[in-house]
Structure 1
Amino acid sequence: MSTLEEARNVARFIHALSGGAEVRRKAAARELSRRDPLDTNELVGVLISLSRQGWGPATCVLTDFMAALEQEAEHIPHVDVLRRLAHVQSLDTVADLFAQGPAKKEMDADAAARADANAFSQSLGHLKQQARLTRDPDTLSRLATVSNPTVLRNVLINPRLTEDLVVRIAARRPARPEPLIEIWKSPRWSVRHAVRRALAFNPYLPPEIGAKIVPLLNTADLRELVASTSLHSALREQATRLLAEGVDAVRQAVTHAVPARRPDGPHGLD
């Protein structure tokens, strides 16, 4: 079983790794794959709980575990059964990570392709090269509207790209899911709070991706998400549970911090 101390040790170890987001993501995937499914769920559940309590290392590495569940799934042999077992284990905050189904809103792929063709006459290869190398902010802004994910992948590695533009891309509506997923996969941009928030609040993002982002949001974001009728119901329910998890954590902290008075004297006083 994944004890609290074991989860803390795992978080400390991954948090201390050098080499960037990809190294930490792969290390998180190895931690998930070497355990049996029940222990995997318990580890993730404890890390979510520790993060909601505000423990720094867990908050930092939770990003790596969420990315591993999405991007390294093929290297985690039992990933398909985690959702079912999480329900059996009554680990609702873990089961929530495996939301399924279509996004709240969807943009037709043919319509997106026609919009790209009307806006750009260059070949796909030229657009990708331009996206990666252009120094002109206006050109970069125009290329950021392309629905083809390979073009956006190159936009995201352009050194001239700003967080403000990435947030605008992540919040763009209507949108195809593929470019939004590229932003979530970007080690450079997916760690930015404003970018995560824009993705999570975009009704065109598939819920299986949104469910990995919601646990990384802060309390104010979660409250706003719960109140938003434009988002997928699974994400709103997930946010509700995470808020409850945070409230429980605060109650436990207060309980442990304030010892009960000992009624030694006749009036409860020493």
Structure 2
Amino acid sequence: MKEVELRVAVLRRDVLDTQAEELAQALDTVCGAAEQADPVAREILGAVMPTLTDVTLVERFDALRAIASAEALLPLGRLLRRPRSSPEVRERSSTDERLLATSRSGRVLTLGERRALARRPSRAALDALMRDPHPLVIRNLLGNPRVTEDDVIRMAARRPVATEVSVEIARHPRWSQRSRVRMALVQNPGSPPEIAVPLVRLLIRPELLQVAAAPDVPRQVRAAAAELLERRPPLAGKGKTASLPQ
């Protein structure tokens, strides 16, 4: 397991095993430092992000949300704030078979066939599955060693994007740690706000400025970017150079 994936696994274990009050205090400290552009805190927070979309941890984060509210842990509360999905994100249409891979005879492949195909090292097979909306196919595709970062960015940026596809990318321990992938998810109007808004907290200043000014990005995502810009420390003055991106 690569270092970044190991980090995500360790953070997930900590989320599961640490006492809720202790975890809330620790995450609040990390969130506050990340808001101030601390690079170590932002890296830690990035490793926590995949757990936010883990359905097995919903109750855990509900408990942390309650603690943040009761104890006025404001940075943690901002991370766990529940944004409302826009109608276009909430509504799900039936699967468009034109997006599904087909056999040589033109028959639409079954889900099992597409899942198996997503594990193969064939470039042609991978290209045929890039538009597949099923999360199990996307999960296998993201784990295929032949898939590149550019492939994942195309999937994350595709419009319209299936909610399930955004979720699978955001929870993947490897691809969720790539800044270009995060940016593609944040900028896609079809990404659920419950994914896009927390990811905003990992963006650096130029990315925040871009998101805050993008007219096609949902209002609440733009608002989150603008809010975070206000909380970031000022840039180094004229004649000084900031050592790290903010």
The TM-score, its normalising length taken from structure 2, stands at 0.78
Shift of 1:219: 0.9
2:109 alignment partner AA: Q
- CA deviation string 1:18-66 (max 9, x = no partner): 86445433433454452444x5444223213323444332222111222
The aligned counterpart of 1:80 is: 62
1:183 alignment partner AA: I
1:154 aligns with 2:140: yes
In the alignment, structure 1 segments of 5+ residues that lack a partner are 1-17, 255-270
C-alpha separation between the residues in 2 aligned to 1:201 and 1:237? Answer: 13
The aligned counterpart of 2:50 is: 67
2:34 alignment partner AA: S
Q: Secondary structure at the match of 1:160?
A: coil
Name whichever of 227-236 and 106-115 sits farther off.
106-115
Query: Max radius of gyration: which structure?
Result: 1
The aligned counterpart of 2:40 is: 57
Name whichever of 196-205 and 20-29 sits farther off.
20-29
1:174 aligns with 2:160: yes
Q: Secondary structure at the match of 1:190?
A: helix
Structure showing the higher helix proportion among its residues? 1
The aligned counterpart of 1:122 is: 109
Match of 1:131 among 110, 118, 126: 118
C-alpha separation between the residues in 1 aligned to 2:186 and 2:114? Answer: 28
Shift of 1:175: 1.5
Q: Secondary structure at the match of 2:88?
A: coil
Name whichever of 113-122 and 160-169 sits farther off.
113-122
After superposition, the Cα gap between the structure-2 partners of 1:248 and 1:78, relative to the gap in structure 1 and judged at 3 Å, is farther
Percent identity of equivalent pairs: 28
C-alpha separation between the residues in 1 aligned to 2:192 and 2:86? Answer: 4
1:237 aligns with 2:223: yes
C-alpha separation between the residues in 2 aligned to 1:227 and 1:187? Answer: 29
Match of 2:8 among 18, 25, 36: 25
- Is the Cα contact below 8 Å between 1:25 and 1:64 reproduced in 2? yes
1:66 alignment partner AA: M
- Bigger RCO (CA 8 Å, 6+ sep): 2
Q: Secondary structure at the match of 1:46?
A: helix
Shift of 1:169: 0.7
Name whichever of 138-147 and 51-60 sits farther off.
51-60
CA RMSD of aligned residues (A): 3.1
2:177 alignment partner AA: V
The alignment covers a number of residue pairs equal to 232
1:228 aligns with 2:210: no
C-alpha separation between the residues in 1 aligned to 2:148 and 2:20? Answer: 42
Shift of 1:113: 3.9
After superposition, the Cα gap between the structure-2 partners of 1:91 and 1:223, relative to the gap in structure 1 and judged at 3 Å, is farther
Shift of 1:162: 1.6
- CA deviation string 1:133-156 (max 9, x = no partner): 0422x4322211011111111211
Shift of 1:103: 4.1
Shift of 1:171: 0.2
- Is the Cα contact below 8 Å between 1:226 and 1:239 reproduced in 2? yes
The TM-score, its normalising length taken from structure 1, stands at 0.72
C-alpha separation between the residues in 1 aligned to 2:101 and 2:114? Answer: 14
Name whichever of 28-37 and 158-167 sits farther off.
28-37
- Is the Cα contact below 8 Å between 2:208 and 2:229 reproduced in 1? yes
